[in-house]
Amino acid sequence: MSLKPVRRIRLSAQIEEQLKQQILNGKWKAGERLPSEHELSEIFQVSRVSIRQALQSLSAQGLIETRSGDGSYVKQPSIGDFVQGSIPGIYLADDSLRTVMEFRRLFEGPVAELAAARAEEAQIHQLGVLYHGMADTASNISENSSYDFEFHMLIGKMTQNAMIEGIYRVQNTVMRSCWKNIGTAKGTTDGLYYHGRLLEAFRRRDAAACRQIMEEHVNSTWSMFFE
């Protein structure tokens, strides 16, 4: 018998979920004061103990900060909060693009170099499929950005290095949350140019060229936004 007894969900967990959705959906903005414990107690028709437990959990997740004698305020979390696994990428701070791009400048060139040396033929073929998907969706930023993103994620997998793949997984939502913004600002021509060169270098198994082209690509994006 695989069935298990059901567990009753704590009141504080239900309250926490509702408050969290208010924050993540933008109903309450960063810096905005939440209703007091007394007000929330009346709204939810529960004791202040349950309210306090819910607020403590939200505070531990980095979503709010409680100021002694002043109440609880919506907090603008840092990218570090996200990497620790507590914050969805959609709720990242405004400077997340800079942080992501700094990471990419340091990381993606060497990753491309290693990927060229270790990639399986089927993976290089799939890279070509993704590139052609980019070309076919050049007029649609949203779809094009999705192919662009998957192109880079596949390069991480091509390294056959569990730690690199793990880092990409951790950064997955962070990068995805920024990718469409990058595509909207740059358009698709630049991405097609660099990805086409990368694809040809991977097909030649030219590891040094893959690193050089990737670094040119990432630095080109950096220059557009931050120089």
Q: Does 20 map to a domain?
A: yes
Predicted TM-score of the model (pTM): 0.60
Report the domain count for the chain: 2
Domain CATH number, residue 195: 1.20.120.530
Instruction: With CA atoms as reference, report the closest residue to 75 among 83, 49, 67, 95.
Output: 67
Quick: pLDDT tens for 127-178: 999 999 999 999 988 788 888 888 998 999 999 998 888 777 766 556 665 6
- Strands (E) in the chain, as ranges, are 64-67, 71-74
Q: Do 131 and 25 lie in a common domain?
A: no
Q: Does 6 map to a domain?
A: no
Q: Do 126 and 59 lie in a common domain?
A: no
Quick: pLDDT tens for 165-224: 877 776 655 666 566 667 676 778 888 999 999 999 999 999 999 999 999 999 998 888
Backbone angles phi, psi at 73, to 5 degrees: -125, 145
Q: Residue 18 contacts by C-beta under 8 Å, 6 or more apart in sequence?
A: 44
Q: Which two tokens stand for residue 199?
A: 């694809």
| CA dihedral sign, ordered 69, 73, 79, 81 | positive
**Mean of per-residue pLDDT scores for the chain:** 83
Q: Do 101 and 205 lie in a common domain?
A: yes
